[in-house]
């Protein structure tokens, strides 16, 4: 599938607005909780909005829109193409 | 026959439930409005069905308390048929729960709700194909307009009767979350064709409403309009109602002469009734109506998104804004709504802070005392002061709690046009709590005070509360209205006139005393109903701690105000 050497794994906070990224790993405590909102490893997410002043991110995944606080987004690692 | 409704949060279960059961469940365009299950007996095609509305759940595996409750219910009770309500616009996500439900091996029907919305988004769903593959009936539904409801229940009856003959496919391997997720996505891809998706109204609205600058400006404007409207309606409707009750009271008293026990009791009862009708209703009903509109439009999650940063300052996250907004109407639903928060720590903190938010009843005290005698600006200042105190309390409390809030995870629902019926029903539903629970207490409390007054027992209560009233520089007679304010907050105003012997508070109290009194009433001890909910939600100990906390905060705030007024 994907060769990992030509892709960067960064945390979701560093994904610029509008960019698409694939989820690679989610912090352990968060995993089951995020699943309920339809976020699974391997899914593609798109950062739709970033609230100002350290506010949350709005990401689109599988046709849903989910707001993620920065503490949450920090623990989600993604790779961008 | 017992039929259970289950579905993911915000999929329209409760809307469906209310269509058949009359208005019993709360609905709202916000994840997790239904936190307990509601049961009702309904009659369909001559058959009595026991219908259960379970709280929204993304999965049956443990998550929030609401989800655990749903799973436990399906496990333990004899449910004959499960109706799985799915949001047709988000089928990939919804099917994950459906697949999980299949593994329960109970008769199952999939209802694709919000088909009108799906069509608008250009989605075409092959229900028959889906039904074939899953081996269960799949029916279209527009619960908000009542379309497809009857067919759904007729089918449920049929399925419930022939449950033995049915076999569902795809069972065992569905126990794994990842397998379900991938399979659900495949199913959605296979049976949903996406037409042209235009740049939707939602995107354009969100561009403005979630804008870093305009978003906040609009939020302030919306809340301003909201409270302005509530106050405006209250101001217009309250005086004529009070006048009417004055006349009625005079009429009721005339056969009994003056200062007899009976006339005192009648006076007390009439004042209790008047308090309910003329003070609570003009403010609370418009408030609940407006809140229902904001809720059904889908604006509340947007507020949570915008306010996340600020809520972090007091140790919470954006989702916890809802108890605060609800708190301005009534602390009871505010405390109940803390259930949508996942962490016990967050629930505790949010509940404690929400009880400091001045509810509509306390609004009446602030308006009746401070706004009326000192002007609306002073009342507004008191509200700002209240926010400041809540922020400081939140800061201190969250520093005392070791762990950090886990942060915001919140679904942003699409905007929906609220239906008048739904909003009205919801306002009535919340209102009923007052009419049924609070009002009788209000009337009884008012009568009891009248009796105390007659036998001069008020002296004893005033003496008990004297240390507090003395520190705040208030006359001893306000002890009684303060104690009775715990029954219902508005009693602190109604009974003040009895305690002082005049309805013209300006002649009996100085400006400082009025502001200090209003400040204390704003914060001290939650009312009985709120205390009861606190106990149910968080336990007796937490209730005690929060009650004690509010008294300390109230005393501190009142003393600060007294100091400030002395300087000004």
The whole-angstrom separation of Cα B93 and Cα B113 is 13
The answer to whether the Cβ–Cβ distance between A36 and B58 falls below 8 Å is yes
What does the pLDDT read at residue B553? 94
Q: Quote the minimal CA–CA distance from B305 to chain A in Å.
A: 7
C-alpha pair distances (Å), A29 with each of B56, B251, B403, B408: 22, 67, 14, 14
How would you class B565 by CB atoms within 10 Å of its CB: exposed for 0-12, middle for 13-18, buried for 19 or more?
A: middle
Interface of chain A against chain B, CB under 8 Å? 29-30, 32-38, 40, 49, 51-56, 58, 62-72
Contacts of the segment B420-425: beta carbons below 8 A, 24+ positions apart: B422/B15, B422/B18, B422/B27, B422/B144, B422/B292, B422/B296, B423/B289, B423/B292, B423/B293, B423/B296, B424/B289, B424/B292, B425/B18, B425/B23
Helix (H, G, I), strand (E, B) or coil at B80: coil
| Nearest-CB residue to B58 (from A37, A55, A68) | A37
| Nearest-CB residue to A71 (from B96, B342, B406) | B406
All residues of chain A having their beta carbon less than 8 Å from the beta carbon of residue B306 are 51, 55
Per-residue pLDDT, averaged over B72-94, amounts to: 83
All residues of chain A having their beta carbon less than 8 Å from the beta carbon of residue B409 are 33-34, 37, 66-69, 72
The whole-angstrom separation of Cα B85 and Cα B447 is 49
All residues of chain B having their beta carbon less than 8 Å from the beta carbon of residue A65 are 411-412
Name the β-bridge partners of A26.
Answer: A76
The answer to whether the Cβ–Cβ distance between A62 and B412 falls below 8 Å is no
C-alpha pair distances (Å), B425 with each of B24, B237, B407, B422: 9, 21, 33, 5
Question: Does the pLDDT of residue B425 top 70, yes or no?
Answer: yes
Q: Which is more confident, B17 or A45?
A: A45
Q: Which of B98, B89, B113, B106 is nearest to B58 (CA)?
A: B98
Q: Which are the contacts of B255, defined by CB distance < 8 A and separation ≥ 6?
A: none
Find out whether B84 and B104 touch, Cβ atoms under 8 Å: no
The answer to whether the Cβ–Cβ distance between A58 and B90 falls below 8 Å is no
Question: Does the pLDDT of residue A79 top 80, yes or no?
Answer: yes
Q: Quote the minimal CA–CA distance from A70 to chain B in Å.
A: 7
All residues of chain B having their beta carbon less than 8 Å from the beta carbon of residue A11 are none
The whole-angstrom separation of Cα B89 and Cα B41 is 30
Question: Does the pLDDT of residue A6 top 50, yes or no?
Answer: no
Question: pLDDT per residue over B308-364, tens digit each?
Answer: 888 888 888 888 888 888 788 778 778 877 877 878 888 899 999 999 999 877 888
Residue whose tokens read 């509810």: B359
Question: Does the pLDDT of residue B556 top 90, yes or no?
Answer: yes
| Mutation site, A12, A30, A50, A55, interface B, largest B CB count within 10 A | A55
Q: Quote the minimal CA–CA distance from A38 to chain B in Å.
A: 6
The answer to whether the Cβ–Cβ distance between B309 and A62 falls below 8 Å is no
Q: Which are the contacts of B125, defined by CB distance < 8 A and separation ≥ 6?
A: B88, B91, B112, B115, B118, B140, B191, B192
Q: Which are the contacts of A20, defined by CB distance < 8 A and separation ≥ 6?
A: A44, A45, A46, A80, A81
Question: Does the pLDDT of residue B25 top 60, yes or no?
Answer: no
Strand ranges in B106-151 using DSSP code E only, listed in sequence order? 108-113, 123-125, 138-140
The answer to whether the Cβ–Cβ distance between B210 and A58 falls below 8 Å is yes
Q: What backbone phi and psi angles, to 5 degrees, belong to B200?
A: -80, 165
The answer to whether the Cβ–Cβ distance between A37 and B305 falls below 8 Å is no
Q: Which is more confident, B37 or B301?
A: B301
Question: Does the pLDDT of residue B545 top 90, yes or no?
Answer: yes
Find out whether B52 and B5 touch, Cβ atoms under 8 Å: yes
All residues of chain B having their beta carbon less than 8 Å from the beta carbon of residue A46 are none
The answer to whether the Cβ–Cβ distance between B90 and A64 falls below 8 Å is yes
| Nearest-CB residue to B185 (from A58, A62, A67) | A62
Strand ranges in B400-510 using DSSP code E only, listed in sequence order? 409-411
Helix (H, G, I), strand (E, B) or coil at B16: helix
Per-residue pLDDT, averaged over B159-178, amounts to: 63
| Nearest-CB residue to B305 (from A35, A37, A51) | A51
What does the pLDDT read at residue A5? 44
All residues of chain A having their beta carbon less than 8 Å from the beta carbon of residue B181 are 35, 38, 40
Share of chain B above pLDDT 70, in %: 89
Q: Where residue B165 falls among pLDDT bands split at 50, 70, 90?
A: very low
User: Against a cut of 0.95, is the pTM above it?
Assistant: no
C-alpha pair distances (Å), B362 with each of B77, B189, B245, B357, B552: 43, 53, 21, 9, 18
The secondary structure of B187-219 as a DSSP string is: HHHHHEEE------HHHHHHHHHT-TTHHHHHH
All residues of chain B having their beta carbon less than 8 Å from the beta carbon of residue A63 are 89-90, 92-93
């Amino acid at each position: 599938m994907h060769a990992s050497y030509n892709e960067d794994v960064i945390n979701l906070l560093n994904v610029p607005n509008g960019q698409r990224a694939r989820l690679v790993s989610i912090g352990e405590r968060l995993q089951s909780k995020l699943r309920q909102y339809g976020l699974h490893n391997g899914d593609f997410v798109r950062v739709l909005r970033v609230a100002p002043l350290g506010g949350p991110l709005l990401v689109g995944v599988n046709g849903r829109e989910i707001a993620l606080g920065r503490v949450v987004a920090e623990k989600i690692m993604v790779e961008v193409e | 026959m017992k039929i259970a409704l289950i579905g993911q949060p915000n999929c329209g279960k409760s809307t469906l439930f209310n269509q058949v059961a009359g208005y019993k469940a709360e609905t709202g365009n916000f994840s997790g409005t239904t936190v307990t299950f509601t049961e009702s007996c309904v009659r369909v095609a001559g058959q009595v069905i026991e219908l259960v509305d379970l709280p929204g759940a993304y999965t049956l595996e443990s998550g929030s308390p609401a989800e655990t409750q749903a799973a436990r219910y399906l496990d333990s009770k004899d449910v004959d048929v499960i109706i799985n309500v799915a949001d047709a616009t988000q089928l990939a996500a919804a099917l994950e729960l459906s697949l999980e439900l299949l593994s329960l091996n109970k008769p199952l029907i999939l209802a694709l709700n919000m088909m009108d919305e799906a069509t608008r988004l250009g989605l075409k769903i092959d229900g028959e194909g889906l039904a074939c593959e899953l081996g269960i009936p799949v029916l279209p539904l527009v619960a908000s307009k009542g379309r497809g409801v009857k067919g759904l229940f007729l089918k449920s009856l049929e399925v419930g009767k022939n449950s033995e003959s049915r076999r569902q496919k795809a069972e065992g391997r569905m126990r794994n979350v990842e397998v379900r997720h991938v399979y659900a996505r495949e199913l959605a891809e296979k049976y949903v064709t996406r037409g042209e998706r235009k740049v939707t109204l939602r995107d354009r609205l969100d561009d403005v409403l979630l804008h870093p600058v305009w978003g906040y400006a609009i939020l302030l404007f919306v809340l301003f309009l909201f409270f302005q409207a509530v106050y405006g309606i209250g101001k217009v409707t309250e005086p004529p109602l009070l006048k009417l009750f004055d006349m009625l009271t005079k009429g009721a008293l005339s056969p009994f002469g003056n200062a007899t026990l009976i006339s005192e009791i009648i006076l007390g009862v009439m004042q209790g009734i008047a308090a309910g009708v003329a003070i609570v209703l003009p403010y609370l009903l418009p408030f609940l109506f407006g809140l229902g509109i904001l809720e059904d439009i889908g604006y509340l999650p947007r507020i949570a998104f915008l306010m996340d940063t600020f809520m972090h300052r007091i140790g919470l996250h954006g989702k916890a804004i809802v108890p605060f907004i609800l708190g301005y109407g009534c602390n009871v639903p505010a405390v109940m709504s803390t259930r949508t928060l996942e962490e016990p720590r967050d629930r505790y903190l949010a509940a404690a802070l929400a009880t400091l938010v001045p509810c509509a009843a306390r609004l009446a005290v602030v308006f009746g005392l401070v706004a009326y005698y000192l002007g609306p600006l002073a009342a507004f200042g008191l509200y700002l002061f209240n926010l400041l105190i809540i922020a400081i309390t939140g800061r201190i409390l969250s520093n005392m709690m070791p762990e950090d809030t886990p942060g915001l995870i919140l679904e942003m629902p699409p905007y929906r046009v609220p239906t008048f019926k739904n909003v009205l029903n919801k306002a009535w539903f919340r209102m009923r709590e007052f009419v049924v629970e609070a009002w009788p207490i209000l009337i009884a409390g008012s009568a009891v005070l009248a009796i105390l007054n007659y036998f001069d027992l008020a002296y004893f209560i005033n003496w008990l509360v004297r240390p507090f009233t003395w520190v705040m520089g208030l006359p001893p007679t306000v002890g009684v209205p303060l104690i009775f304010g715990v029954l219902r907050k508005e009693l602190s105003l109604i009974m003040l006139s009895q305690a002082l012997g005049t309805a013209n508070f300006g002649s009996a109290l100085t400006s400082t005393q009025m502001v200090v009194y209003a400040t204390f009433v704003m914060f001290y001890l939650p009312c009985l109903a709120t205390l009861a909910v606190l106990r149910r939600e968080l336990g007796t100990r937490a209730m005690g701690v929060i009650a004690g906390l509010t008294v300390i905060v109230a005393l501190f705030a009142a003393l600060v105000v007294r100091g400030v007024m002395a300087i000004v």
